A and B are shown apart, each in its own frame.
Chain A
Amino acid sequence: MTNPSKPYAYLDLAEIRARLDSSRGREYWRSLEELANTEGFEELLEREFPRQAAEWKDDAAGRRQFLKVMGASLALAGLSACTRQPTETIMPYVRQPEEVIPGKPLFFATAVPIAGVATGVLVESHLGRPTKVEGNPDHPASLGATDAIAQASVLDLYDPDRSQTLTYLGDIRPWSSFLGAAREALGPQSATGGAGLRFLTGATTSPTLADQFHAVLQKFPRAKWHHYEPAGRQASRAGARQAFGEPLNTYYQLAKADVILSLDSDFLCTGPASVRYAADFAARRRVRGQQTAMNRLYVVESTATPTGAKGDHRLPLRAADIEMFAAAVAAGVGARGVDTSAGSQMTSGPHAKWIAAVVKDLQQHGGASAVIPGEQQSPAVHLLALAINEALGNTGKTVIHTDPLDLNPVDDFESLRELVEDMDAGKVEILVIVGGNPGYNAPVDFGFTQRMSKVKLRIHIGLYADETSELCQWHIPEAHFLETWSDARAYDGTVTIMQPLIMPLYFGRSVHELLAAFGDQPNQTPYQIVKGYWNRQHPGPDFEDWWRKAVHDGIVPNTVLPARQLAFKSSAAPAKPSQVQGLELVFRPDPFIFDGRFANNGWLQELPKPLTTLTWDNAALVSPRTAERLGLQNEDLVELNFRGRKVKAPAWILPGHADESVTVHLGFGRTHAGRVGNGVGFNAYALRTSDAPSFGSGLEIVKTGSKYPLAVTQNAHLMEGRAIVISGEIDEYRKHPGFAREKAEEPPKELTIYPGFKYEGYAWGMAIDQTACVGCNACMVACQSENNIPVVGKDQVLMRRPMHWIRVDSYYKGGMDNPETYFQPVPCMHCENAPCELVCPVQATNHSAEGLNDMVYNRCVGTRYCGNNCPYKVRRFNFFLYSDWTTPSLKLQRNPDVSVRSRGVMEKCTYCVQRINEAKIDAEKEGRKVRDGEIVTACQGACPAQAIVFGDINDPASRIAKLKAEQLNYSLLAELNTRPRTTYLAALRNPNPEIENS
């Protein structure tokens, strides 16, 4: 009992907080016990469990007393429960942190690394919680936009299934205990120069990490650093090595390209530069008024991809035949230094005219064209593409070669094979797996999991306790990139210093900290490591300023890798014509789940894959003709028998897929992904061997006779003769610019006797350019992230109840075997004559004076009449309680400006009304009108192709008003007289007349 007369021994809260922050795991408990020994704590303990009423008489001390109790509650939360309680602060800041105003988000520059390569982003932070990823307009790979994966990365941060504790054989251990174990194991290694020490990383471009690795390798000269990225860029590196003798990095400047030929490359939607490529590509297709110049895209591909859909001409070929095609083009353009004999088969085949036309077009645009080989294609195709680009004079203009981005540019499969052989031979004593998940995604013929047991000490650091950590003794939870300091290069070499937006939620460690444990200074923080590295690169008195600016801007100046001009060497290895027998199997990383690492991300799992609109599964994709030959129907469960290995997969017929070829996407069938990703889809890695990492022939398909339901969000892809996506050719537009409007019959406004409503102030509107839209679905995730849209799960998608406020419809035109494909993003149309408003019995959906179709969740009783009467079917209904109201970590992700909807209410796109209101408030405070471009909707912000434009149509100078005045602008279902505020620009194509006429 403390004596009430005795002055209180005040507890230094700052000190406790600092102590709590710096302690983890077992130390955490110890420090609490220490904490308990302080006089202040004794007193607080008494007040938390009072034996008498707490004393509040002393007014002067009352507030501090209150603070102390709060502090003790916090500490006791740690004492009394095993789970970490969320910090709930119910008092204002004592000292207001600079720039933090509740309700006003802050944005911090960082980068999203995908397979090691960075896309610069700005992350929105609400009171210390990162909630939304936006593109960084200054960053070359972003230009303000992002892809779907970057948008979804914020959900990974809050994933409750992330590994939360450092474990040794499943037991919780403190970091210090790991450090001790590592030191002990490294002791004998010092003597042998690290002969038994191996590191295995995925693709990584972090200069700091490279520096650390070099330091470690200096300390342990005989240690080896292996590199395995299941869907990496080794084919392009191998092609470059053959061509130039060096594993170069190649990227394209599509802004300068008039003609583009894609050789099985989905460059618009996948790959580290896809966001930039889509922007450059779309910018060259923006037909406005008299500006009618368009680039032209030829796509030769096996699997139908969004890039193929955007192609002015598209040729489906089996993956193995692409090499012959490339050889034929190479022969056509007179490429030197490569063996083009394989192309003769093509030039004499049915595609001869097509090839001749492409060759002619490319030659006419020498220096202003680009041939882009797919990352999943063979090195030979890359070599041929390099030769073609050389022959066309594109190198150095549209095709840029630089030093490799990857720190360790080796052949992934060879590197892993070497490691596995060493493991088998017992040479590996310590294996440190830095990120990556080889236990799941290593080629099946390597027997990685079996051979792991021959390694004495196995250490894995990763975001999840996954298949690989199951094989390791030590598992270290990795800090998410939003939780720690690091750096990474973009596709062109630009470095971004990645800054944390939040303390590690789950005691994660950065890979830099892990590597530091193998170096001389094991206790450095990631901040010290990264900043220290850059200080060494940029010594001098102005470093602090330089550092602040680099971190603030999200790009380190002058880090673009210089273009390399190398002489094209004659190829030593002539391309061998591949012999294809039977069905071909093509492996592709999933467009959203990628190699499987995003399997536990509900947003990405539920994001409909381009073209198939498949969610929550992968499928064996076949062409209609092959399906017919094999007697396959959609959702037939088949057994894929590939070179003696078998996997069961559901079949899905994909129009435009190459015949006699089957595509499977990697990344599914995870067993240790988490609650979201476990058991979703089938594991295509089980068929993937190192001799056929991308494709191979010899597949057999056996029908099992059973069905497997696949959750797609769009079943019908034909327009039924309706003017939905109005499309035309550029020549048609030049001759008759008004063709689109004529197809969409808008009833004259004078037909009604009632005077129309006058929108006097702002009148918000949106225009979507269907020529630009590449169908990447980034807008859908951006919307989901911004507007707190729940994930509903496969069973609900099967019931056709996905909640996306914007969807990207795709429609086919022409035959099934090689249709023209059109994308149409459909948000709410915000009709001026909205059919939904008329039928709501409780006034839950109303029209604003600015033309917004507002939805009042609180008033909605859920008759769903509005949904029935919406001709665009953009209204989404909470059939169940879809929003997660219980998981604490997911609550942190929510946008505080948007209501979290509960069961039984209708919801839909609001044009991001929270952003509109924020801009209006700012404008009103400054006594001005909202500027054009000040409001960017979430979908618009994410769109790499800048296909979406939003603004005030009452302002004649605005971009939106100008777009609405374009001849290509039309209203969807205009004849219904709904007068939508969202309008579309007709899709234009630029076909080659020579192919058209043949």
Chain B
Amino acid sequence: MSEERRQIISVERGRVPVIAPGHTFATVTDKISTIVLTRKTPLYWLVPFLIASGLLMVFLTAVSYLFVKGVGIWGIRVPVMWGWAITNFVWWIGIGHAGTLISAILLLLNQSWRNSINRFAEAMTLFAVACAGTYPLLHLGRPWLFYWLFPYPNTMGVQPQFRSPLVWDVFAVSTYATVSLLFWFVGLIPDLATLRDRTHNRWAKATYGILAMGWRGAASHWQKYETASLLLAGLATPLVISVHTVVSFDFTVAIVPGWHSTIFPPYFVAGAIYSGFAMVLVLAIPLRAMYGLGDLITMRHLDNMAKVMLATGQIVAYSYLFETFIGWYSANQYEIYAIWNRLTGPYRWTYYALILCNLVIPQLLWLKKIRTNVVWLFMISLDVLVGMWLERYVIIVVSLSRDFLPSSWAHYWPTIWDVATYVGTIGLFFFLFFLFIRSLPMISIFEVRTLLPQAEVTEGVEK
């Protein structure tokens, strides 16, 4: 019986090991650090990395052309002045949310199973925020003036306009990026020290050494680490809620029918976590197969994440239904038309595809068989990612394309450069992610060690 099969059976029977049996502190450390410290770069790393690099080149080309010509190379037009760029921005920012949720909220809730996945989930957050962050800058008509959105002392005597949700966005996203980076880095320090101690390469030793900031594993270090970690988790927790709430304000504050809705903040946060967990699964499933990490990222993790997806998916589904209901209930002809246009207008296929992807297909996750089948999980996670992208597309493009005056209505269609920029940021994301898994431990070594039975015993003694 394979290890995988054993895990599935144990999940089905309700016995839930977080880590497969047979591991000791040493084996965990060995297993995770070897991935980084090996001299041999495996082909299954190299090939995806090269593909991601190729896509990164697409990104750089698209961005260079964009800077030379202007945002007119995209499909945006009157009245759809935001198109794929903002769709992608919201999508990427949403994806980032899962990492923070896993690392911060689950830490505070003492969900120790998170220890195997929080490191790469947080890395995913950072890279997703990096991808997201490019869009608000790229989509500017004059991107070289992006810093005007920051309040800084200047001779013009002009400050940003603080009533604009875009300014709130600047604060929300930059705070989020900063806290996420700090949290991730602080969490890395003990493992960086481990790598420093285990590597034989002088350069690596020096680099890891500097980054480890003199970590010796002393009790005082651990005590400070735990405090810092908890504090940062406390800081990051409200951000999980606030960032996407603020992003949703970009829409709710505007008067465009289909945007102007009070349900957006919770709906966006749930959607963000939904897509974030889908992305974690999309990353975790191939990773554990490639690096044989099935014993650290076990079926229980996948099962738990699928359950979170199922729960947030239900919130999202509820929001869809209520959004439609409220549109009708508002008795406002523009709102009613906006909903009607979603259901029957020229873009109806995007709405139905969205319902299919986000509402119908994920219902399969109710079945334990599906939740414990990595192929199904992977496919459903991809499907949710597509669905969540479509959701933003429907909100942004479909609402804008038909607003108040029919004379201005127009059909939006993306150009090749919209696609290139989007695909390019996916390239950027995976480029960074593969660099990460090659150079840093993708699973938190010291935190996984606390999940071992040996660690539990120690805890018991202390108690």
Contacts and interface: CB of A to CB of B under 8 A. Distances in A.
B405 A809 contact: yes
Interface in B82-139: 82, 139
Given A864-B81, A879-B76, A843 B161 contact: yes
Interface string B242-263: 0000000010011110000000
A715 B409 contact: yes
A906 B170 CA distance: 21
A903 interface: yes
Interface string B327-341: 000000110010000
A565 to B, nearest CB: 49
A719 B148 contact: no
B165 A839 contact: yes
Given A843-B161, A904-B142, A826 B255 contact: no
Contacts of A876: 78
Contact of B406 (A717, A842, A860): A717
Contacts of A809: 405, 407
Interface stretch (B66-74, B184-192, B232-240, B372-380): B66-74
A871 B71 contact: no
B148 A859 contact: yes
Nearest to A867: B81
B363 interface: no
A838 B149 contact: no
Interface in B368-422: 400, 403-411
Interface string B426-443: 000000000000000000
B81 A872 contact: no
B404 A872 contact: yes
Interface string A794-808: 001001110000010
Interface string B144-156: 0110110000000
B149 A842 contact: yes
B292 interface: no
B21 to A, nearest CB: 55
B77 interface: yes
Interface in A902-932: 903-906
Contacts of A835: 254-255
B149 A861 contact: yes
Contacts of A715: 409-411
Q: How large is the interface on A (under 10, 10 to 19, 20 to 34, 35 or more residues)?
A: 35 or more
Contacts of A869: 254-256
B405 A871 contact: yes
Interface of A: 714-722, 724, 796, 799-801, 807, 809-811, 824, 826, 835, 838-843, 859-865, 867-869, 871-873, 875-881, 903-906, 972-973, 976
Given A800-B77, A835-B255, A838-B164, A861 B148 contact: yes
Nearest to A719: B406
15 contacts: A715-B410, A716-B409, A809-B405, A824-B407, A838-B164, A843-B161, A861-B148, A865-B82, A865-B166, A865-B254, A871-B403, A871-B404, A872-B404, A873-B79, A973-B405
Interface of A is mostly: loop
B167 interface: yes
Contact of A801 (B78, B143, B163, B256): B78
A661 B404 CA distance: 35
A843 B160 contact: yes
A862 B71 contact: yes
Contacts of B337: 720
Contacts of B81: 864-865, 867-868, 877
B140 interface: yes
A799 B77 contact: yes
B158 interface: yes
B17 interface: no
Contacts of A843: 158-161
B141 interface: yes
A376 B250 CA distance: 55
B75 interface: yes
A860 B160 contact: no
A722 to B, nearest CB: 7
A863 B409 contact: no
A120 to B, nearest CB: 34
Contacts of B71: 862, 879, 904
A856 to B, nearest CB: 9
Interface of B is mostly: loop
A801 B77 contact: yes
A762 to B, nearest CB: 25
Contacts of A841: 149, 160-161, 164, 166-167, 170
B1 to A, nearest CB: 58
Contacts of B69: 880
Contacts of A904: 70-71, 140-143
B76 A864 contact: yes
Contacts of A717: 406-407
A876 B170 CA distance: 25
Given A721-B333, A839-B166, A906 B141 contact: yes
A684 to B, nearest CB: 28
Nearest to A871: B404
B354 to A, nearest CB: 21
A717 B139 CA distance: 31
Nearest to B404: A871
Nearest to B149: A841
Contacts of A842: 148-149, 158, 160-161
Contacts of A875: 78
* Residue in A721, A722, A861 whose Cβ sees the most chain B Cβ within 10 Å: A861
Contacts of B142: 860-862, 903-905
B87 to A, nearest CB: 13
Nearest to A838: B163
A715 B410 CA distance: 7
B405 A724 contact: yes
B150 to A, nearest CB: 10
Contacts of B146: 861
Given A863-B139, A864-B141, A904-B141, A718 B406 contact: yes
Contacts of B159: 843
Contacts of B82: 864-865, 868
Given A811-B407, A881-B70, A973-B404, A799 B75 contact: yes
Contacts of A880: 69-70, 72
Contacts of B334: 722
A905 B144 CA distance: 13
Which are the 9 A-B pairs with shortest beta-carbon distances?
A862-B141, A904-B141, A879-B72, A873-B408, A809-B407, A864-B81, A841-B166, A716-B406, A904-B142
Contacts of B400: 868
Contacts of A877: 78, 81, 141
* Residue in B77, B149, B167, B333 whose Cβ sees the most chain A Cβ within 10 Å: B77
A47 B81 CA distance: 56
* Residue in B71, B81, B165 whose Cβ sees the most chain A Cβ within 10 Å: B81
B407 A826 contact: yes
Contacts of B406: 716-720, 722, 724, 811
B155 to A, nearest CB: 13
* Residue in B72, B167, B409 whose Cβ sees the most chain A Cβ within 10 Å: B72
Given A842-B149, A867-B79, 18 more contacts: A716-B406, A718-B406, A800-B77, A801-B78, A826-B405, A835-B254, A838-B164, A842-B158, A859-B148, A860-B142, A862-B140, A865-B82, A872-B404, A873-B405, A873-B407, A879-B76, A880-B72, A972-B405
Nearest to A844: B161
Contacts of A799: 72, 75, 77
